[in-house]
Structure 1
Amino acid sequence: MGKETVEQIDTLVIGGGQAGLATSYWLTKAGVDHLVVDRRDRLGGGWLDRWDEFCLVLPNFTLLLPGMPYDGDDPDGFMVRDDVVKYLSRYASLINAPVRLGTNVTRLAATDGGLVAHADGTTFQTRNVVLATGPYPRPKIPAASEKISGHIQQLHSSDYRRPGQLTDGAVLVVGASQSGAQIAEELHRAGREVHLAVSKCSSAPRRYRGRDLGWWLLQVFQNGAKVGVEMKLPSLAARFAGNPIVSGQGGGHSIDLRQFARDGIRLYGRLESADGTTVRFSDDLVDRLVFAETQFDNQVRRMIEAYIAAAGIDAQPDDRPPRSDSPAPATSTELDLAAADIGSVVWATGYRLDFSWVDLPVFDEWEYPRHTWGVTTHPGLYAVGLPWLHSTGSSVFAGVGADAEHVVEHLVGRREP
């Protein structure tokens, strides 16, 4: 067994995605000696786990990392996966981020006067640590998966890459938030028969009152507080709610679950149990569809309308077509995978936070750090890039920079006598 190397560094940033790199930008500006480590062997963060045809669901103009806002020739387009990865690599190069790849931190603990991180034969002794591992570290797969017959191929959406990767036959996609809905649409477009277990998620129009939905969300995020309109978190549990169903594919479009049904995708309620080749669903598909179809008007539309009024914007009228009054699609509460010729199941069931390697008592019942705007309850320990860390933009390109800046300001303040 080789001898462990000990390195001393003022600040260690764990995670080299957009959150870690944005933090590095501000640390460099502040003159703080630091190192960014990432377990992967290449830059790109969680975007590397997306499927081949993945693209952003927010327009390119929302790519606003500090020091490098989007400067391409397609601001209204939706960047594809590989270009997102290139964007992050270019950003790391531009800001000269001190990144060390292939470095997996397996334990973080307190020590006299600071923190100690263990990673692949190296011990980092540091005054500050910034947790920037993002909201997608550990796929969440329901226990029902263990009851499904072994000859059925199963994979999480983080491992899905393309339709041809799946066993021949029909496909059951479990979960209809952003990933599940887009994967179901892609499989259907590829000619696969698709069955979709519907999550309780909101749908949203791609465009509203003459603008892309992302434009309105960015305006409220950046300027809403100035006119008294802000996005608010209804509850702590809502930090983990699915994002509105919308797509950036083909120049961007809305996703209508009832249209899925009319196109031939078979819809079901929530997958509740499994036994061999039989899976069972909740008997509330209609309620789930109504929820998806009404949440935008109940919440986001009201916020946008309030912002339009408060900011005095002369916006185009709401010209969306009326909500479909088509009858509820045919469904059932039980499905025989074998009889339906289903050869594979894609679990688009989201992710869990995973800070099991952090040996510090700073986490709540959701494994979320106890903090105030990224400053945790343990001195010298910070977090960036988590959903609703401070605002609705905390985990996306448009908002992570502001959180990172605040964290670095606090960190620098600790160094001053």
Structure 2
Amino acid sequence: MSAPAVSRHETNTVVVGAGQAGLATSYWLSQRGVEHRILEQRPALGGAWQDRWDSFYLNTPNFSVSLPGKAYDGPEPDGFIARDATIDFFRRYARDIHAPVELDTTVTRIAPADAGFTLETDRGTWAARNVVLASGAFQRPRTPPAAVGLSPEVLQLHSHDYRNPAQLPQGAVLVVGTGQSGGQITEDLLDAGRAVHLSVSSCPEAPRRYRGQDIFHWIVEVNVHGPEYGINALQVDGLPSPAGRFMCNPLLSGNDGGHSVHLRELGRRGVRLHGRFEGIDDGVLVFTDDLAERLALVEAGFGQRLGRLSDAYIKAAGIDAPAADVPEEDHWLPAEPGARLDLKAEGITSIIWCTGYALDFSMLDLPLLDEWNYPRHTKGVTEHPGLYAVGLPWLTRHISATLVGAGPDAEYVTGHLAARR
């Protein structure tokens, strides 16, 4: 009996991923008259925003909800939109630009071929002259190796799979990590009346508003216009090390009209704070015994980097902005920081790992990745002709993985791609 026929398709360019970067790429490819298809592994449009919890609000203000040809024009530029509204925005945008998306199609292998590339998927094979990697920054949920040593009686979820407190069994909850997900999920659990323990990482706190504007306004300004004034720290060439591409984002929330998240305030509300998670010792969780120093580091981080860059930009650009508010000194510390935690004794039945994501380009059958599994490239143009990347953290600058940052990178990449014809 002969083997079943494998469907084969051809197009000039395949875009892998239909999130914000993939849709922005599709817009520019259409503008340049380049035939293409977008292969999206999810059964529905909406990108990684579909993996956020029920109470999630976008952390960046509405003025940044912008993709090529679709700038925000609503009445609340400094407001924030909920998860489902964010998903709807992407679905409407894909419809408006007539994005040629193939849903429920997972790319399993990308290999070089004589005329470009062969892409194997779970729904057949594609041949393309060009490929654009647009699978985003949230590819593979990452958890510490020690997690496998925990009792199976404790429910473990990555933030990727957390949806709401009712999803968890009765009992206290340990949240590990204080990036944006960790801080916001802790607040979600508190609002539901759950007892929460929180393992503190090194992600910096930040004011939601700074010198008269949402802090993201200044971040965008320094990204886009900083180089005009010699301020290049938020450009990829200004990173002290390639590892800096994976540094934490500021601890902020878009909920309740947008607000800062302060760890000491969470502690005063009843959250039991611990140092960074280190591992497991005879069934007991171990944390660094440096909570006081860690909280001070978290609170100082904004002033040492983003605050300083914002101030330098405001001064260099001659912007008339109000002076920065001086934060009140806060020396609160828990009575018992606790470097060790017995889950059973504390009634902890769930752990939520807010420990970020790892890049996953395992489908690439090409020697193209550096030691951080990041494609080697220049402004999104990789070392292999016809292969491009968009939407990655610090692709060209700090905001490259955001809505407002994906479009300009996609415009540059598609210009290079179109010129190959």
Whether TM-score is above 0.5 comes out as yes
Contact 2:105 2:123 in 1 (8 A): no
CA contact (8 A) 2:14 2:131 kept: yes
**Hey, what's the Cα distance between the residues in 1 that align with 2:122 and 2:211?**
53
Correspondent of 2:117 among 115, 124, 133: 115
Counterpart residue number, 2:95: 93
Q: Secondary structure at the match of 2:345?
A: coil
Residues 1:66 and 1:134: Cα distance change in structure 2 (over 3 Å): same
- 1:139 alignment counterpart: 141
Q: Matches of 1:251 and 1:237 in 2, distance apart?
A: 33
Return the alpha-carbon distance in structure 1 between the equivalents of residues 334 and 173 of structure 2.
22
Corresponding residue for residue 10 of structure 2:
8
Q: Could you list the runs of 4 or more consecutive aligned residues of structure 1 that deviate by over 4 angstroms after TM superposition? A: none
Which residue pairs with 2:23 in the alignment? 21
Residues in 1 aligned to 2:123 and 2:89: alpha-carbon distance in whole angstroms: 31
User: How many Å separate the matches in 2 of 1:219 and 1:376?
Assistant: 27
Q: 2:75 aligns with which of 73, 76, 80?
A: 73
1:202 aligns with 2:211: no
Q: State the SS of the aligned residue for 2:60.
A: coil
Counterparts of 1:221-240 in structure 2 under 5 Å? Answer: 221-230=223-232, 231=234, 232-240=238-246
Supply the distance in 1 between the matched residues of 2:386 and 2:291 (Cα, whole angstroms).
47
Q: Secondary structure at the match of 1:398?
A: helix
Q: Which amino acid aligns with 1:355?
A: F
**Shift, 1:327, TM fit:** 4.2
CA distance in 1 between partners of 2:333 and 2:353 (Å): 28
Aligned-partner SS, 1:3: coil
| 1:336 equivalent in alignment to 2:342 | yes
Deviations 1:158-215 (A, max 9, x none): 0000011011010000111110111011111211110001111111011111211111
| Corresponding residue number in structure 1 for 2:304 | 298
Q: Is the 8 A contact 2:292 2:333 kept in 1?
A: no
Q: Within the alignment, does 1:387 sit opposite 2:411 as a pair?
A: no
Code of the aligned partner of 2:340: E
Q: Are positions 1:271 and 2:271 aligned together?
A: no
The letter of the residue matching 1:63 is V
Separation in 1, partners of 2:214, 2:343: 39
Aligned residue among 298, 308, 315 for 1:309: 315
In the alignment, does 2:404 pair up with 1:414?
A: no
- Tell me the residue number matched to 2:332: 326
Distance 1:233 1:148 in 2: 37
Q: Tell me the residue number matched to 1:375.
A: 381
Letter paired with 2:88: K
Amino acid of the residue matched to residue 110 of structure 1? Answer: P
Matched to 1:303, the amino acid is L
* 2:287 pairs with 1:281: yes
CA–CA separation in structure 2 for the residues paired with 1:353 and 1:183: 23
Paired residue type of 1:31: G
1:64 partner SS:
coil
Deviation at 1:74, TM superposition (A): 2.1
- Report the AA paired with residue 4 of structure 1: V
State the TM-score, normalizing by the size of structure 1.
0.97
Structure 1 residue 271: Cα displacement: 1.1
Quote how far apart the aligned CAs of 1:319 are: 2.1
Gaps of 5+ in 2: none
SS at match of 1:295: helix
Alignment partners' CA distance in 2, 1:410 and 1:168 = 55
The offset of 1:90, in angstroms, is 0.8
Matched, 1:246 2:252: yes
2:173 corresponds to? 171
C-alpha separation in 2, matches of 1:255 and 1:234: 27
Q: CA deviation at 1:329?
A: 5.4
Q: Alpha-carbon deviations, 1:326-372, whole Å to 9, x = none?
A: 34653111111011001100000100000111111100011000000
Question: For residues 66 and 355 of structure 1, what CA distance do their matches in structure 2 show?
Answer: 26
Give the Cα–Cα distance (whole angstroms) in 1 for the partners of residues 133 and 221 of structure 2. Answer: 28
Counterpart secondary structure, 1:65: coil
> How many angstroms apart in 2 are the aligned matches of 1:125 and 1:215?
42
| 1:288, distance to aligned residue in structure 2 (A) | 1.6
Query: In the alignment, is the contact (CA less than 8 A) between 1:201 and 1:242 conserved in 2?
Result: yes
Per-residue Cα deviation, 1:247-298 (whole angstroms, up to 9, x for no partner): 1110011111111111110111111112574211111222221111001111
Measure the CA separation in 2 of the matches of 1:10 and 1:145. 44
Residues 258, 329 of structure 1: 8 Å contact kept = no
Residues 1:128 and 2:130 aligned together: yes
CA RMSD between the two structures: 1.2
User: In 1, distance between residues paired with 2:54 and 2:14?
Assistant: 32
Amino acid at match of 2:86: V
Which secondary structure does the structure 1 equivalent of 2:10 belong to?
strand
What TM-score do you get using the length of structure 2 for normalisation? 0.96
> Cα–Cα, structure 1 residues 16 and 329, in superposed 2: closer, same or farther, change >3 Å?
farther
1:189: which partner in 2? Answer: 191
Change (3 A) 1:156 1:216: same
Three-state SS of the structure 1 residue aligned to 2:89 is helix
Specify which of 361, 365, 369 is matched with residue 371 of structure 2: 365
| Residue 325 (structure 1) shift | 2.8
- Paired residue for 2:410? 404
Displacement after TM superposition at 1:393 (Å): 1.2
